[in-house]
Structure 1
Amino acid sequence: QALFQEGVAFARLGLVIIDEQHRFGVEQRRQLQEKGSMPHLLVMTATPIPRTLAMTIHADLDLSVIDELPPGRTPVETVVMPDSRRAELVERMRDLVGAGRQIYWVCPLIEESEILQLRAAEESFAELSAALPNARVGLVHGRLKGAEKAAVMAAFQSGAMQVLVATTVIEVGVDVPNASLMVIEHAERLGLAQLHQLRGRVGRGAAKSTCILLYHPPLAGKARERLRVMRSSQDGFVIARKDMELRGPGEFLGTRQTGLAQMRVADLLRDEALLAGIPDLAERLRARDPAAVEGLLHRWLGGRLGYGQVA
């Protein structure tokens, strides 16, 4: 991310590749594209954010989809479970550890919050350490120093540690094929993209893998729907499409990546069949009366037109 700084200049920037695109803001991506003269752009993500998915629907982005698992990967079974069944879950973990498997236990927050009723990573670490005396349990979170975090991750990746309690810092960049179970506490508090990214940490080997989404009842309507989608699909684009339905497509010509669109009548998902003809229609309108079109654009959009080029 150091490339976004104003002092970084490129002689001839021709191609920008943004991996894990959902982790960057629109303004950051715009700044990077502006460091060259119309550079080619490739963005990659397992779960497109609503704004980017909307741009693919709007025919503003070419789309390539990898719709099969890499060799050696297995589908992940997803189970939704109330947190009242924690004791039962710990018993299952004991069996898995005895069979030589490894486990992720993910907590959304670092410190206990009575308001949100979220279990802290430290509390779960202490609980699991006591419940699994024959397993080595580790703890990693964003407040650890780099060397400490690296040491814990290295122990887990080498197999010397059987259970890793973590915050969402393990969302990307972790590859442990022997890990076959992931438990996500308070899954109802996380968004679809983050849940899908976390689930991708398991299922990287030949062993059958499971992701358990623990929730604290009662579930609100949107939270219930998010967990239902996670249980029923492993397709990142299906999940992203549902995410757009739930959160809105955001602004094409602005920095909001979610939320209600700036259209009063049209609906991107409902009217998708009509969208293919829009670029041609827009060009015809511009050719017929360019002055009127420019006037409308500047009246309603002002200086936001440049955001239309930011994927």
Structure 2
Amino acid sequence: KNLIRVNHWYFKQYLTTEKGTKIARELLEYELQTRKDEFEQVLDGVPKNLLRFLMFECFAKDFIFPIDPPRFIFDWRDVILSDSRTVIARNSILNKLERLSFCVKTHYYVSTRGGELRDIHYVISPEIQEKLLTIKPELEELDEHIKKKCVIYYFLTEKVQYLLRASEPKDEEETNTKRQEYWNRLESLSLTEEDIKPIINEMSKKGITTEYRGLFVRDLPFEILDKVGYKVYLKRMLGDPVFSYLFEDNSTQEIESEKVRETEIKVKEKIKEEREKLPPGIVSKEELLNFFDELVNLKEKSGIS
């Protein structure tokens, strides 16, 4: 009793009371503990770098996730989410949670035009979000240089592509407005001209853009001369390397690294055993120990097992 209350907002909402929330949380904790092994497997099968993106840039930032890729690109993260492989990986995790009853799939509701049900979304609770983020504590956020490459790619393809197309004639007022808007968008993403200039100058050599002129000339910072070539070049130089980094399978590399570490440990243990067996002789024990130390260093540098 007194566990659920009704909220009238365009339609009836059934919400837990403070007491109901407390009991629900206790039940959820019990279920999580009971199904701990299954829960900890929901992240299996996702490439490590892609998982780093999903954990820190998706699951850590929201509780609601659309089932489909974004229709519009509003953020650098949307650039990655617009690739169906990213959404498939994210949805595979959410599907596993749904099968464990730790996630629900429902329509997004908007109050416009008397209320409408929109696209289907996955929804998780704050408790599930918290537990999800602790499954692999060894994971770290994406490398900063990868993030920055994404931000630059987003800026050049989504924020200024239509702003700086070459067109004639341009009056001073239009140029002034576009220059200011360019600066606003650059600054909003914490980018500088130095982040953009080398890329534009490389494209100018291929006739795709003008050279980078900067913000303190009478003209635009730069202009796009070949809009198709512009998209192709940026995808090849910025977009493709990011996606290769995200989607490559890191598991094989990790297994090999672990094997190398195990071999090194065995070598060191064997050498330690042999050290204790060294008989006195013409060569001093100290000299032989130094020899073995050099041998270990040589093995570590060369990767010899």
| Shorter-chain TM band | under 0.3
Higher Rg: 2
- TM-score, normalization by structure 1: 0.21
Q: Which has the higher contact order (CA 8 A, sep 6+)?
A: 1
